[in-house]
């Protein structure tokens, strides 16, 4: 198989000829103010649920919900669930943090935590892949990078994991429904041969997939392979952000074209406008990932993919699941901001974490930015 770098150099020469312008152990010490982190032994995943809801196998417009036929609520008790990953500066998950060290703020108001659970579980993942003739031209470097990342991530999934494949250009197309049958996944990826449309409508594809996955229970995520460029979506960036936050599906974005962009820029092949477009696209991917509780990656070398896939699996399989009853009981449909912190309950100061050698460990808390409160149903 030809080298990625060779592909990039060849593509750069081709673009120059054609005049193309690319427009994250052990648990806490007895001292509750210090936590010691050490590597966690992996456990076998639980059996997959055969009745897991699936994305519709055809790309069709959803029917409008008849509000009159919806059941009414018979309880005033609401519970909010937040998936939280605590990772060190190398992306490794930190286990063993007790319930008493977590603090949840909703709209800056401390909430009463009902439970904190942790454990591995099967995944439900939708791979959303940009595949348009704008950048993924046959045997070009971005075409090769896209397929290398798609096939590479699919090969890291466990047998009990559900995965769907969605490719988008002018519109999203479901190439493979959620399945544990890897032959169907491979067949779907094999269809990514020659791109058709030159449009790359990222916002439409992302919101459509997240909306379809919003009712699915359990560990779920969207793994997005994209340049971040949106050419002609029907909705705006701000509307996309709102819809993704409401759907509650974490997005793990892998940005494409990083090396090619650097090479083209060094050779004067990218003007200031094209450069700004790509920088804005990178920031949009970071925003989608951060606000949904995911992460964004921008690999420059092919060897980085293994670490990226490992980080995504660490974050998705090893999570703290926090449940709390919100103090705001209003069913007003407003968006509630969530902030998760690790604190020492004795003084409410940030919780220090140390490794086995007693050295301080920098850590990050990955969680969704908030949720949309339900509306009162009469």
3-state secondary structure of 332: strand
The count of other CB atoms within 10 Å of the CB of residue 68 is 6
Q: State the pLDDT at residue 5.
A: 45
Nearest to 321 by CA among 374, 372, 288, 367: 367
Contact assessment for residue 296 and residue 281, using Cβ atoms and an 8 Å cutoff:
no
Contact assessment for residue 87 and residue 353, using Cβ atoms and an 8 Å cutoff:
no
Contact assessment for residue 89 and residue 116, using Cβ atoms and an 8 Å cutoff:
no
Q: Is 192 left (phi over 0), alpha (psi -120 to 50) or beta?
A: beta
Q: Where would I find the beta strands (DSSP E) of the chain? A: 35-37, 80-88, 102-106, 109-110, 112-119, 123-130, 162-168, 172-179, 219-226, 251-255, 295-297, 319-325, 335-344, 349-350, 353-355, 363-366, 370-372
Residues paired with 363 in a beta bridge: 88
- Which residues of the chain have a pLDDT value below 70? 1-77, 119, 377-378
Q: State the pLDDT at residue 185.
A: 97
The pLDDT tens digits for 209-266 are 999 999 888 889 999 999 999 999 999 999 999 999 999 899 999 999 999 999 888 8
3-state secondary structure of 292: helix
- pTM attached to this predicted model: 0.72
DSSP states along 165-186: EEEESSSEEEEEEEES-HHHHH
* Beta strands at 109-110 and 112-119: parallel, antiparallel or unpaired: unpaired
Q: In sequence order, what are the residues at sequence separation of 6 or more whose Cβ sits closer than 8 angstroms to the Cβ of residue 63?
A: none
Cα(281)–Cα(291) distance, integer angstroms: 16
Token pair of 182, please?
Answer: 């890897």
Nearest to 256 by CA among 107, 135, 158: 135
Residue 260's Cα: distance from chain center in Å? 24
Domains and CATH numbers, the chain: 25-41+78-118+319-378 (2.60.40), 121-316 (3.40.50.410)
């Amino acid at each position: 198989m030809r080298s990625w770098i060779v592909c990039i150099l060849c593509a750069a020469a081709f673009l120059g000829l054609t005049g193309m312008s690319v427009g994250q152990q052990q648990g806490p010490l007895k001292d509750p103010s210090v936590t010691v982190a050490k590597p966690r032994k992996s456990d076998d995943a639980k059996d997959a649920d055969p009745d897991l809801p699936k994305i519709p196998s055809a790309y069709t417009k959803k029917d409008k919900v008849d509000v009159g036929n919806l059941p009414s609520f018979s309880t005033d008790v609401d519970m909010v669930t937040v998936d939280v990953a605590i990772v060190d500066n190398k992306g490794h998950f930190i286990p063993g943090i007790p319930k008493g060290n977590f603090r949840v703020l909703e709209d800056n108001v401390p909430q009463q935590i009902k439970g904190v659970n942790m454990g591995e579980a099967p995944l439900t993942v939708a791979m959303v892949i940009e595949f348009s003739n704008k950048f993924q031209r046959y045997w070009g470097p971005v075409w090769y990078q896209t397929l290398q990342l798609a096939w590479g991530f699919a090969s890291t999934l466990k047998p009990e994991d559900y995965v769907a494949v969605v490719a988008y250009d002018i519109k999203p197309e479901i190439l493979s429904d959620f399945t544990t049958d890897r032959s169907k996944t491979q067949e779907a990826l094999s269809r990514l041969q020659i791109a058709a449309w030159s449009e790359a409508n990222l916002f439409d594809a992302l919101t459509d997939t997240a909306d379809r996955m919003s009712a699915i229970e359990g560990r779920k995520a969207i793994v997005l392979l994209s340049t971040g460029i949106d050419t002609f979506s029907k909705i705006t960036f701000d509307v996309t952000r709102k819809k993704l936050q409401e759907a509650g599906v974490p997005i793990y974005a892998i940005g494409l074209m990083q090396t090619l962009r650097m090479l083209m820029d060094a050779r004067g092949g990218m003007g200031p406008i094209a450069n700004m477009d790509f920088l804005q696209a990178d920031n949009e991917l970071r925003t989608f990932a951060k606000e949904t509780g995911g992460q964004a990656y921008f690999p420059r070398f092919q060897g980085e993919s293994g670490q990226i896939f490992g980080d995504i699996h660490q974050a998705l399989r090893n999570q703290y699941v926090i449940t709390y009853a919100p103090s705001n009981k209003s069913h007003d449909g407003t968006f509630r901001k969530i902030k998760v912190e690790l604190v020492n309950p004795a003084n409410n100061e940030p919780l220090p974490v140390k490794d086995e050698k007693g050295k301080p460990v920098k850590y990050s808390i990955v969680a969704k930015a908030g949720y949309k409160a339900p509306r009162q149903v009469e």
